[in-house]
Amino acid sequence: MPAEPPDRWHDLGAFIREQRGTARLSLRRLSELAGVSNPYLSQIERGLRRPSAEILQQIARALRISAETLYVQAGILDPPDGSPDLAREILADAHLSEEHKQALVRIYLSFRREHEAALSAQDPEGAEPSGPGQLVPTTGPSGGPGTGPADPVVPGTATGGSGQAHR
């Protein structure tokens, strides 16, 4: 395994702290959501601990970012091939509320799944799966896993998206 840069864990901690700030979560709240102790999360953020892939996944889920994003920051995965991570950019936008961010991400991911399914149906052997760092876990309205295009509920509409009344 190649030598680790000395600042890798500090940089990972700073990244997690930045994402926590963007999500407007306290250290205590993030530790509760991620299922890790408050002192341990604090040590990770200060670069004093090297979290396992499982812990990174729990933190990513609590921050509503892709685990792959944290894996890249930790050096577990190589950076993506340059394709944009729109979901991550949406979640990092300080000008949107958390409700709006989650609605946009769910809509975006439902379009991605629909597009990838269409590609697979056209050419099952030649379709390329999405690259690492492209998807984030989502939750449905009941708090369970998202189920696809029906998940998004756009604020201000009773229909969840089209805005048109059913007749």
Where are the domains positioned within the chain?
8-74, 85-161
Q: What is the mean pLDDT of residues 7-27?
A: 91
* Interval 130-144: pLDDT, tens: 444 444 444 444 444
113: nearest Cα among 64, 72, 152: 152
Contact between 41 and 27 under an 8 Å Cβ cutoff? The reply is yes
pLDDT at 45: 95
Residues 6+ apart with CB under 8 A from 156: none
With 0.85 as the threshold, say if the pTM is over it: no
Query: Picking from 48-62, 87-101, 152-166, which range would have the lowest pLDDT averaged per residue?
Result: 152-166
33 token code pair: 């959501």
* Interval 64-78: pLDDT, tens: 988 888 888 888 877
User: What is 8-74's CATH topology?
Assistant: 434 Repressor (Amino-terminal Domain) (1.10.260)
What's the CA gap between 133 and 112, in Å, rounded?
A: 14
